[in-house]
Amino acid sequence: MNIKDLITEERNPNTMNIDSMSTFEMVRTINHEDQKVAAAVGQQDQQIARAIDAAAKRYQQGGRLIYIGAGTSGRLGVLDAAELVPTYGIKPERAVGLIAGGKQAMLQAVEGAEDDLELGQQDLRQLHLSAKDTVIGLAASGRTPYVVGSLDFANEVGALTIAIACVPNAVISSHAEIGIEAVVGPEVITGSTRMKAGTAQKMILNMISTGVMIKQGKVYQNVMIGVQPTNAKLIDRACRIISTTTGVSTSEAMTALHNSANDVSVAIIMIETGRSKADARDLLAKAHGNVAAVLQANK
């Protein structure tokens, strides 16, 4: 199929006159189109769940989440990878975003990079890709050569491969173990896939990475216990997390945070079980970092 025939390149009949609309009508029209995104993503719930379960197993074994894409898709992958570090307290090397053309492509397009089948392979080789890793290939059009080449190489290595596209029967889906296709329809501005397609991709990435982190024990109840209290705002958040999940006062939470060496998970277990910091850490290690499992076993 030619690029011009892709649904992401079609003209949207609902926005043919957007250039002559009032500002209010323009905003309302864009919002109406955006409402279609969640429904399209919802059609892929089963595939997204498959991706989470498979990626979580690799991550538990020490593998990495590696996002790879070009243009908007690549930037969204880099963003998701970067945000996992402060949100869940993981090491930067456990979540890596690759974009066609390298770091400079985050701010300015690098001509021809996305059309290079070999470039993605080279980028993954530099990361010493292994079978424990998960490679998430992103392409709104579902056919970007940089992503296709990356997925093919990842398959050869034995890594888990996931493809995220916004067209049906995407090329990249056939090059991945799990294909996710959120078909959001033509864009408000023809071909501007940073809009609905970009929003859909971000939603899917949020679900996958959040799901993987939950399965690593980085979430207790519905709070981020992997948060790193590295500044005043995050120290306050850490104390509130400890306080709300255990019922202790904020001052007691602050003391527990200090005694746990700023480890929210350890602090919660120390409070709830009365164990020492060393014991709490041992219990967490045996439960693969899952606070709920530790507390259930130590009632």
Res 114 pLDDT > 90: no
Pairing of strands 219-220, 223-224: antiparallel
- Condensed to tens digits (0 to 9), the pLDDT of residues 199-214 reads 999 999 999 999 999 9
Classify 198 as helix, strand or coil: helix
Confidence of residue 230 (pLDDT cuts 50, 70, 90): confident
Confidence of residue 111 (pLDDT cuts 50, 70, 90): low
- Which residues does residue 141 pair with via DSSP β-bridges, in sequence order? none
Nearest to 129 by CA among 58, 213, 81, 63: 63
- Condensed to tens digits (0 to 9), the pLDDT of residues 267-299 reads 999 999 999 999 999 999 898 888 999 998 987
Classify 175 as helix, strand or coil: helix
Q: What mean pLDDT comes out for the span 231-237? A: 90
For 37-55, letters b (16+ CB in 10 Å) and e give: beebbeebeebbebbbebb
List the helix and strand counts (H, then E) for the chain.
11, 7
Q: What mean pLDDT comes out for the span 205-229? A: 91
Residue appearing with tokens 């001509």: 111
Q: Please tell me the predicted confidence (pLDDT) of residue 89.
A: 84
Average pLDDT, the chain: 93
Active-site residue identified among 9, 33, 111, 114: 114
- Condensed to tens digits (0 to 9), the pLDDT of residues 68-86 reads 999 999 999 999 999 999 8
Q: Please tell me the predicted confidence (pLDDT) of residue 254.
A: 95
User: Rounded CA gap, 243 and 257, in Å?
Assistant: 10
Query: Which residue stretches of 106-192 are H helix?
Result: 117-126, 145-157
CA angle 272, 274, 276 (to 5 degrees): 120
Confidence of residue 104 (pLDDT cuts 50, 70, 90): confident
Its CATH class, for the domain covering 219-297, is mainly alpha
Active-site residue identified among 9, 10, 83, 252: 83
Q: Please tell me the predicted confidence (pLDDT) of residue 289.
A: 86
- Which residues does residue 99 pair with via DSSP β-bridges, in sequence order? 69
- Condensed to tens digits (0 to 9), the pLDDT of residues 12-62 reads 999 999 999 999 999 999 999 999 999 999 999 999 999 999 999 999 999
Q: Please tell me the predicted confidence (pLDDT) of residue 1.
A: 61
Confidence of residue 11 (pLDDT cuts 50, 70, 90): very high
DSSP codes joined into one string, 220-242 = ETTEETT----SHHHHHHHHHHH
Residue percentage of the chain with pLDDT more than 70: 99
Q: Please tell me the predicted confidence (pLDDT) of residue 59.
A: 97
83 flagged as catalytic: yes
Confidence of residue 227 (pLDDT cuts 50, 70, 90): confident
User: Rounded CA gap, 38 and 36, in Å?
Assistant: 6
Domain ranges of the chain: 7-215, 219-297
Classify 291 as helix, strand or coil: helix
Q: Please tell me the predicted confidence (pLDDT) of residue 298.
A: 85
Amino acid identity of residue 1, one-letter, is: M
Largest CA distance in the chain: 68
Confidence of residue 151 (pLDDT cuts 50, 70, 90): very high
* Domain 7-215 CATH (choose: 3.40.640.10, 3.30.70.1230, 3.40.50.10490, 3.40.50.1980): 3.40.50.10490
Residue percentage of the chain with pLDDT more than 90: 81
- Condensed to tens digits (0 to 9), the pLDDT of residues 155-175 reads 999 999 999 999 999 999 999
Q: Do 188 and 33 form a contact (C-beta atoms < 8 A)?
A: yes
